[in-house]
A = this chain, B = another copy of it.
Amino acid sequence: MSQKKKQEQLIEQIGLGIEGNLHLSPLAARIYALIILSSEEGLTFEEIRAIILSSKSSTSVNINVLLQLDYILFYTKPGDRKRYFKLAKYSSLVLLEAYLDGTDMEMEMVEKINDYNRNYFPEKFTNEESVGQIFESYLEEKKQLVERTISKMKEFRESEKKH
């Protein structure tokens, strides 16, 4: 298959995956997918438009959403007004940090639910109540895993700076 065809196909697939998971608009998700599948050089506004076939306005809005979220970044070349958009090197760190917030919220919620139920429906907590316990330790481990991964990435980033 040609690169172009393969790229189109992957943009479609990855776009759909991203859209649901990351709560981005379909267009933002496709632009993000395209940038993930691009060279270190980056792509210009018009290059993106030519591949995705989107209007200037929507492209502008959605690129800015991705910039705002730190999923992508841009640089410029001297004597060239165009912006070159590329994947933020630590975009996966940004993602994990957002995910950690979600995990914290999830844990808070479970705690509130347990408080409420323990208070008003103590019968729910009579015996060992193990399904809930298994789930809670799962949440705890997941949080620790995410935190550990974030630390590793930050360490790596620091070690890079020193060179």
Within 8 A of B (CB), among A26-74: 36-40
Structural contact, B145 and A109, CB atoms closer than 8 A:
no
How many chain A residues touch the partner (CB < 8 A)? 46
A13 / chain B contacts, CB cutoff of 8 Å: 109, 112
Bound-state Cα–Cα, A105 to B19, Å? 13
Within 8 A of B (CB), among A87-114: 89-90, 92-93, 96, 102, 105-106, 109, 112-113
Within 8 A of B (CB), among A111-162: 112-113, 116-117, 120-121, 123-124, 130-132, 134-135, 138, 141-142, 145-146, 149, 152-153, 156
A106 to chain B, nearest CB (A): 7
Counting CB contacts under 8 A, is A24 at the interface? no
A17 / chain B contacts, CB cutoff of 8 Å: 105-106, 109
Bound-state Cα–Cα, A117 to B135, Å? 37
Bound-state Cα–Cα, A152 to B142, Å? 15
Structural contact, B138 and A145, CB atoms closer than 8 A:
yes
A40 with B116, Cβ < 8 A, contacts A106-B17, A109-B13 known: no
Binding site for B on A (CB under 8 A): 3, 6-7, 10, 13-14, 17, 20-21, 23, 36-40, 89-90, 92-93, 96, 102, 105-106, 109, 112-113, 116-117, 120-121, 123-124, 130-132, 134-135, 138, 141-142, 145-146, 149, 152-153, 156
Can you pick out 10 interface pairs between chain A and chain B where the beta carbons lie within 8 Å of each other?
A13-B109, A17-B105, A20-B23, A39-B120, A40-B121, A40-B124, A92-B134, A134-B149, A142-B142, A145-B145
